[in-house]
């Protein structure tokens, strides 16, 4: 779900079907690897998955990937790696694959909190024919991330290449719209660590290209979420970059009051960043409903639930004002970075009547909550640049309270510029 300028980019993705993805018959080639690219601190000693008891912190090494030059350059570097892999695929030059591998290894070493960098590194290992190394790299990507990788990167080479091409085009669109600096060759990551030839080979040259000539598959919408620095508003970028140091999603759930045995709904679940940690907290006696309006995300969540063997999560398809949850069944309803999507969902949204969608939605929330259930709202505490009305913390609070809720508790120090408010219904 998106608003404002994001909607036009999403419409561009939705309206087309990827011609480059039709041939699913090709499998990756095994390429001889260079001997020099195995150095560095991100060589992984174990190929096992993360321990079930391991809780991955929301904040990783103080990395900030939400906005500003760091996020810009991380995104640009990822696209350059993809460009090298595309050139390798068409030219069959093993040198290009080895350059992509080196750059991916350097990216993960410099920004280890960037999940998609680990995916690119794992994929280059796969193309190099080293499945054990692929598994070791995936073990570093973070809890619940292996299914994300396999959902996309175990497709045919043509399908993966189709996703890379669209990602490159979207980077060009952002650059032309002034949302990302287009400064090839001056990347603070690429410049110091690769020679000039490698930088030239990996540079994304938008030039005068026709940016409407490539037709992406519908599931690119989900793929873009896992490349999250390309989406500065994506919850994963904000939370993994800026949450309290060392606090895992499970610990955050407990701080919110989520306990074993509870019935919880994660509205606008996306790729399930919170849904799966919540499921580990509520345990076998509880249940988590990962609610999404987009059927592509529902399909993705169903794959991930089955792949990881969860029995206490279900993926639920919702409508704009109907979350599709049974009446008086929820202990907790969690809404993170989705409030604006609900508010602006109507095509005839008017600043004079901003609650036309919100009031029916919140009435549905009240209906789904148990009498003592809580509604947890996490969103920006400040009015954003493209908001047509005031949506700061106090305005959000008023909008919710006008729908029959009372503020029960707030957590004001968890995330910079974010409001974490817990409401109960007025009965």
Residue 193, token pair as written in the block: 């660590």
24: which strand partners?
Answer: none
Find the mean pLDDT for residues 263-277.
94
Quote helix, strand, coil % in the chain, to nearest 5: 45, 15, 45
Across 308-331, b (16+ Cβ under 10 Å) vs e yields: bebebbebbebeebebebeeeebb
Output the CA–CA distances (angstroms, integers) from residue 63 to 38, 141, 344, 419, in the order listed: 24, 15, 31, 21
Three-class DSSP labels, 37-82:
CCCCCCCCCCCCCCCCCCCCCCCCCCCCCCCHHHHHHHHHHHHHHH
C-alpha span between 206 and 234 (Å, rounded): 25
- Asked which of 120-134, 211-225, 301-315 is least confident by mean pLDDT, the reply is 211-225
Q: Which residue has the higher pLDDT, 99 or 351?
A: 99
- Asked which of 259-273, 324-338, 356-370, 402-416 is least confident by mean pLDDT, the reply is 402-416
pLDDT of residue 70: 53
Confidence of residue 310 (pLDDT cuts 50, 70, 90): very high
Find the mean pLDDT for residues 25-43.
39
C-alpha span between 98 and 70 (Å, rounded): 25
* Sheet containing 313-317, strands listed edge to edge, beginning at the edge strand earlier in sequence: 313-317, 287-292, 263-267, 330-336, 369-380, 418-425, 405-411
Other Cβ atoms less than 10 A from the Cβ of 175: the count is: 18
Confidence of residue 287 (pLDDT cuts 50, 70, 90): very high
pLDDT of residue 84: 94
C-alpha span between 218 and 222 (Å, rounded): 8
Compute the mean pLDDT over every residue in the chain, rounded to the nearest whole number: 74
* For helices 157-176 and 146-153, angle between their N-to-C axes, nearest 10 degrees: 100
Helix (H) or strand (E) holding 374: strand 369-380
- For the cut 50, the answer to whether the pLDDT of residue 270 exceeds it is yes
- Asked which of 17-31, 162-176, 213-227, 310-324 is least confident by mean pLDDT, the reply is 17-31
Q: Is 268 exposed, middle or buried (0-12, 13-18, 19+ CB in 10 A)?
A: buried
Q: Which residue has the higher pLDDT, 133 or 143?
A: 133
Find the mean pLDDT for residues 262-284.
95
Q: Which residue has the higher pLDDT, 76 or 138?
A: 138
Residue 411, token pair as written in the block: 């957590």
Find the mean pLDDT for residues 142-150.
87
- C-beta of residue 323 within 8 angstroms of C-beta of residue 332: no
Alpha-carbon torsion (162, 94, 201, 225), positive or negative:
positive
pLDDT of residue 176: 58
Residue position matching structure tokens 């709904």: 265
Find the mean pLDDT for residues 201-229.
67
Q: pLDDT, tens digit, for every residue of 357-407?
A: 788 899 999 999 999 999 999 988 777 777 777 788 888 899 999 999 999
Cβ-Cβ contacts under 8 Å for 39 (sequence gap 6 or more) = none
C-alpha span between 354 and 344 (Å, rounded): 8
* For helices 295-308 and 146-153, angle between their N-to-C axes, nearest 10 degrees: 120
- Asked which of 97-101, 142-146, 209-213, 271-275 is least confident by mean pLDDT, the reply is 209-213
Q: Which residue has the higher pLDDT, 351 or 43?
A: 351
- Domains of the chain listed by start with CATH number: 4-35+46-53+61-230 (no CATH), 243-425 (3.40.50.150)
- For the cut 50, the answer to whether the pLDDT of residue 25 exceeds it is no
**Cα angle at 354 between 10 and 237, to 5 degrees?**
40
Residue 260, token pair as written in the block: 């074993």
- For the cut 50, the answer to whether the pLDDT of residue 136 exceeds it is yes
């Amino acid at each position: 779900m998106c608003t404002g300028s994001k909607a036009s980019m999403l419409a561009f993705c939705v309206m087309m079907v990827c011609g480059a993805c039709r041939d699913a018959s090709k499998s990756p080639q095994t390429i001889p690897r260079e001997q020099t690219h195995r150095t560095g601190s991100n060589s992984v000693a174990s190929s096992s998955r993360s321990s079930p008891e391991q809780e991955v912190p929301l904040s990783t090494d103080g990395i900030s990937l939400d906005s500003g030059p760091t996020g810009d350059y991380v995104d640009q570097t990822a696209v350059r790696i993809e460009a090298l892999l595309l050139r390798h695929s068409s030219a069959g030059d093993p040198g290009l694959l080895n350059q992509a591998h080196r750059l991916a290894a350097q990216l993960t070493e410099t920004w280890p909190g960037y999940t998609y960098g680990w995916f690119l590194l794992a994929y280059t290992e796969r193309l190099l024919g080293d499945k054990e190394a692929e598994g070791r790299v995936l073990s570093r990507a973070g809890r619940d991330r292996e299914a994300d990788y396999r959902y996309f990167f175990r497709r045919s080479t043509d399908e993966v290449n189709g996703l890379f091409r669209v990602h490159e085009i979207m980077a060009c669109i952002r650059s032309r719209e002034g949302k990302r600096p287009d400064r090839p060759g001056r990347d603070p990551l690429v410049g110091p660590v690769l020679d000039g030839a490698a930088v030239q080979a990996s540079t994304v040259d938008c030039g005068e290209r026709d940016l409407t000539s490539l037709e992406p598959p519908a599931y690119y919408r989900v793929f873009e979420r896992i490349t999250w620095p390309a989406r500065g508003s994506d919850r994963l970028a904000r939370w993994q970059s800026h949450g309290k140091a060392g606090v895992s999603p499970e610990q955050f759930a407990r701080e919110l009051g989520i306990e074993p045995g509870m019935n919880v709904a994660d509205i606008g679940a996306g790729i399930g960043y919170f849904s799966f940690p919540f499921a580990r907290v509520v345990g076998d006696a509880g249940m988590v409903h990962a609610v999404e309006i987009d059927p592509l995300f529902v399909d993705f969540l169903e794959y991930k639930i089955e792949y990881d063997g969860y029995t206490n999560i279900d993926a639920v398809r919702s409508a704009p004002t109907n979350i599709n949850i049974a009446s008086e069944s929820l202990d907790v309803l969690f809404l993170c970075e989705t409030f604006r999507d609900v508010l602006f969902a109507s095509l005839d949204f008017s600043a004079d009547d901003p609650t036309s969608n919100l009031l029916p939605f919140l009435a549905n929330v009240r209906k789904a909550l148990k009498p003592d259930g809580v509604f947890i709202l996490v969103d920006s505490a400040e009015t954003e640049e493209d908001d047509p009305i005031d949506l700061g913390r106090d305005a959000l609070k008023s909008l919710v309270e006008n729908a029959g809720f009372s503020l029960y508790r707030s957590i004001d120090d968890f995330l910079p510029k974010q409001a974490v408010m817990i409401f109960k219904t007025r009965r």
